[in-house]
Chains A and B, each alone.
Chain A
Amino acid sequence: MRSGAEGGRPLIAFEDVTLGYYGVAVLSGLSFSIREGDFLGMVGPNGAGKTTILRAVLGALRPLAGRVTVHDEWVRFGYVPQRQSLDAGWPLKTLDVVGMGAYDRVGVFRRPGAPVREAALQALDHVGIRELADQPFGSLSGGQKQRALIARALVGRPTMLVLDEPTDGMDLVSSTSILELVRELHDRDRLTVLMVSHQLNEVANYVRQLALVLEGAFQIGETEEILTSENLSALYGIPVQVDQVNGQRMVLPREVPELGGPADKAIAAVGSAGRPDAATRSRGDAEALSAGMGPPPPGVGPASKDAPARSSGTGPGPGTARGEGDRA
């Protein structure tokens, strides 16, 4: 099990957990913990099970086996859903939507009053869009909506921010702006952060810890331990290179995976920005890189649906667990 940030209290612990729906396992053998102060990115292709894990973290999905422990005395979630999951047709002002983050403190039968309104305005101020308070939520741009939803999470005075695909479908400027905001909230407000994304290159330079959720495999650890060419190559089953460009990490697959094959699905987690262009797609390149790589680290192998459920032991290295299910 990963030890997490030094000195942080354990907030959430998964112990040999199997997750799924209606008795059908999607992921199994999950053992890891999230500690106070962590900035964890959970990355994987669509359908790999990221949201399933996130639902279990939030308590919306009970494990089929194993145990998920949430230390309620230390953790209060601020959940930021995928903005596309909210219907833009609802005639709600941005302030109304942000205020919902405090509804559980208002009490049944009571209307949210001035304190909720003031808290919502402060949260909007905190994320830099106070002037949009009276705008219809549905009319906001993608980036503005995301900021509003982060503000809504902040209204509840959370200790842990949980973001589901916060930059999905955004352009470079908007997504960078949102990721900078999340980093600021982590650094300035000392919020523990769990961020789910399918773009490895996008979150790799922000998060301190990284969990890779692939079809049939799960790996978690400190970002610098996960993002090594050896580890990623072993995990994805194709040669992968991790470069530094102007101090920024870039993960580049160096072989075109077989269309529709396991590696092709897994590599989607790297994101389109990391794919090599047509000129670099040659067997010679891939073979040369393969030949230069060392053996994969122990406990890590190609993703396989048939692999037995297994969790890593404790220690400084990244933990690994394998799933047996198909997809969420």
Chain B
Amino acid sequence: MLDVILLFREALLGALVIALGCSVLGVYVVLRRIVFVGAALAQLSSAGIALAIFLEALGVGWGWVTGHVVLAFLVTLAGVVFFALHGARYRVPPDAGLGMAYVVAGAAGVLLIAQAAGADVHDLFLQGNILGITRADALLLLMVVGTVLAVHALLYKEFLFVSFDPDMARTLGYRVTGWNLLLYLTLAIVIAVAMQSAGVLLVFNFLVLPAVTGLLLGRGMAGVFGWAIASGLLAAAAGFALSIPLDLPTGPAIVAVSGILALLAWLARLAWPALR
């Protein structure tokens, strides 16, 4: 089995990098209670990819500008700006805006793909195509996620403060809207590159479940990040390894392992009161 897995080592590396990046950002997503921002951004990113495929089918293209990653990023960025700046002035509750973005982006993706390639491609959007990750894809993922994580390591104090207590941060002179935009921007970048191969389901999974596992097991922010990263990487590796001999779709297999790990973490918390 190891030989078979090694055949897909670039794909495994890509899955691990996506798991790492999303697990770290997922801690903010879950603690800031913006889980559905993650879902909506993933869906918007898929609509961006669909738009790129549609433009390719039409023969319209301006080089890298209409590339999959770039369009996915631009559409996701538009969502980031809207969600970060959205206020009560529009008389629409933020979660309604998220629901609207999610469903419209999802439908737009299906419609664009139906016109361009065929309905079967939509399944790839939902489930992703982890096994299709090439060496170049893996290197791009590594570079982008590495840069984003370095930014997060350097600006940990700022992201933590504006996320936990924006009012206090504002009082101390922090430009909270700017820091929020930057945080969301890093989220958009990771989602846009991850969506190229992971699909909505898997990206959303990595943004939520590892962080939940981390919160159930970890003490302090370092502990939560540590457990989130460990569970995300374990889910990616185990789901990947199990899907090949069992002939299962890789994305859902990874999601299933993530779910089992979260369940085990919850049971551990029940069993050992010291974790509470």
User: Residues of A at under 8 Å CB distance from B?
Assistant: 21-22, 58-60, 77, 79, 81, 85-87, 89-93, 96-97, 100-101, 103-104, 106, 108-112, 136, 152, 156
Contact = CB atoms under 8 A, between A and B. Distances in A.
Contact of B165 (A86, A110, A136, A156): A86
Given A58-B171, A77-B171, A90 B31 contact: yes
Contacts of A97: 164
B155 A92 contact: no
B95 interface: no
Nearest to A22: B89
20 contacts: A21-B88, A22-B87, A58-B171, A60-B170, A60-B171, A79-B168, A79-B171, A85-B165, A89-B31, A89-B215, A91-B219, A96-B221, A100-B161, A100-B165, A101-B168, A104-B172, A109-B155, A111-B156, A136-B219, A156-B172
Contact of B167 (A60, A87, A90, A92): A60
B224 interface: yes
A89 B224 CA distance: 12
A106 B157 contact: yes
Interface string B155-199: 111100100110111111110000000000000000000000000
Contacts of B158: 108
B154 interface: yes
Contacts of A110: 157
B170 A91 contact: no
Band of interface residues on B:
20 to 34
B173 A85 contact: no
Nearest to A99: B157
B220 A91 contact: yes
Nearest to B31: A90
A91 B221 contact: yes
Contacts of A108: 155, 158
A34 to B, nearest CB: 16
A87 to B, nearest CB: 7
Contacts of B154: 109
Interface of B: 31, 33, 87-89, 154-158, 161, 164-165, 167-174, 215, 218-221, 223-224
Nearest to B165: A86
A108 B157 CA distance: 8
A81 B167 contact: yes
B157 A85 contact: no
A110 B167 CA distance: 21
Nearest to B154: A109
Closest 7 CB pairs of A and B: A104-B172, A79-B171, A22-B89, A91-B224, A60-B170, A109-B154, A58-B171
Contacts of A152: 168
Contacts of A104: 172-174
A91 B157 contact: no
B219 A81 contact: no
A209 B87 CA distance: 35
Contacts of B172: 101, 103-104, 156
Nearest to A107: B157
A112 B171 contact: no
A96 B222 CA distance: 12
Contacts of A21: 88
Contacts of B221: 90-92, 96
Nearest to A164: B167
Given A81-B165, A81-B167, A100-B165, A91 B155 contact: no
Given A79-B167, A90-B31, 6 more contacts: A79-B168, A91-B220, A91-B221, A92-B164, A92-B221, A104-B172
A133 to B, nearest CB: 13
A87 B89 contact: no
Contacts of A81: 165, 167-168
B25 to A, nearest CB: 16
A2 B180 CA distance: 39
A316 B157 CA distance: 47
B244 to A, nearest CB: 36
Contact of B168 (A93, A100, A109, A112): A100
